[in-house]
Amino acid sequence: MAEPAFSVCVYCGSRPGENPAFAEAATAVGRWIGGHGGQLVYGGGRSGLMGTVAEATHLAGGRVVGVIPQALVDKELANRQCDELHIVQTMHERKAMMAERSDAFLALPGGIGTFEELFEVWTWRQLGYHDKPLGLLNVASYYDGLLAFLNHSVASAFMGEWQMGLLHADTDAHALLRRLVQDANPDQTPVPLRSVI
């Protein structure tokens, strides 16, 4: 397999959620990554949206790298079909490896694990620990409340507009992925904005 053109870390739920739009978005993300010769880095599970985005990436010809702690191998049903499956000892190791292997970060709908992972890499970015782009895919208005709260935090002077500017939120998976990949590799030829079926 050729070296991937880029590597995107996707954070998302180990559950599918009740709205079919969530799985549809995960499928669209995986197809886009695989269809553009990219690599998915994710939490290594085969359940919920995690499994959906991994399978879609694989079926579209992309490379899939999973990272999962030993304690979650059974609980999250480790995806043995990954091109690389790394079983680590702690969540700290998991998140560090995922960050190291990625050019950009994208959060899909999920629960507190997804929130925690997104907020950690966002914090690392504002502190200058990395300069990789961050995206939030707001599927079916899932993140409307969070985005409103974050803007409230800015208005309350606990965050600056520049910090909000580090997080790119969009409802269009393809447009958001294209922006993240372009921001991660500004010297490369822009990724064409096209639909991947």
What is the per-residue pLDDT for 165?
97
What residues does each domain of the chain span? 7-184
What does the pLDDT profile of the chain (197 residues) look like in tens digits?
579 999 999 999 999 999 999 999 999 999 999 999 999 999 999 999 999 999 999 999 999 999 999 998 877 689 999 999 999 999 999 999 999 999 999 999 999 999 999 999 999 999 999 999 999 999 999 999 999 999 999 999 999 999 999 999 999 999 999 999 999 988 876 555 444 43
Query: Whole-prediction pTM value?
Result: 0.93
Asked whether the CA dihedral 70, 72, 76, 114 is positive or negative, the reply is: negative
Q: 63-69 and 84-88: which strand pairing?
A: parallel
Of 15, 10, 75, the residue nearest 48 (C-alpha): 15
In total, the chain counts a number of residues equal to 197
One CATH from 3.40.50.450, 3.30.1440.10, 3.40.50.620, 1.10.1740.10 for 7-184: 3.40.50.450
Q: 39-42 and 63-69: which strand pairing?
A: parallel
- The terminus-to-terminus CA distance of the chain in angstroms comes to 21
What is the per-residue pLDDT for 160?
96
What is the per-residue pLDDT for 192?
54
3-state class of 66 per DSSP?
A: strand
